[in-house]
Amino acid sequence: MQHFITCRVSFYPDNDQEQLKLTNIVRQCNAKVQDRSSITFGNNCLSLAGYGNNWRCNICHAIRAEAKNEQILFLSRCPYEKDDSFSWRIQIGKSYFDISILYRAEYYKKMKIDDPGNLLVRTHLAVINEYYGNYAAALQEYAFIVKRDSKDTFASRRLKAVSKLLLQEKKQEKLQEKAKLIRMG
């Protein structure tokens, strides 16, 4: 079950030129989105609201990456990420991964085809899938890793955690279906 979350990014442009660049970055990214109702930008604060990780995260990542390229300072508050002075990292369980793996999903999929036994590639795909809420796909990757390397404690822990998440999702779906039938009956 995914929870409703609002993420905020506060930008700190140093001058009018950076302010203009920031406004253009947000406009360009928003132009690529059909439904902007959950994205607001004002007073140099970007707010994104929604359920869990989805397309809004991609927009946020794109805006922050462009701001970082333009050296515009910002502070992000995301429950799925850890921002430090060295790199952007996402948190999965108790472990952190460089956020750049999220941008390389297609690369990892191709590598998996070329070398299906590469456990690092499979771990990255599992993390990407879990981050975006694709729990069934993440579960398959974690199960493959644990089957190949039973001493991989990260994959073992995540396999158990994702299994619980999937079970909770299925229970929630059944409850929603039951409530729907009761309303209809």
Q: Which DSSP helix (H) or strand (E) runs through 181?
A: helix 153-184
Q: Which DSSP helix (H) or strand (E) runs through 82?
A: strand 81-83
Q: Which two tokens stand for residue 16?
A: 């009018």
The confidence score (pLDDT) of residue 105 equals: 87
Query: pLDDT under 50 in the chain at which residues?
Result: 1, 85-87
From 1.10.3470, 3.30.300, 3.30.70, 3.40.1000, which CATH number describes the 4-79 domain? 3.30.70
pLDDT over 70, % of the chain: 84
CATH topology of domain 104-184: 1.25.40
H runs (alpha helix) in 32-91: 55-69
Q: Is the full-model pTM beyond 0.75?
A: no
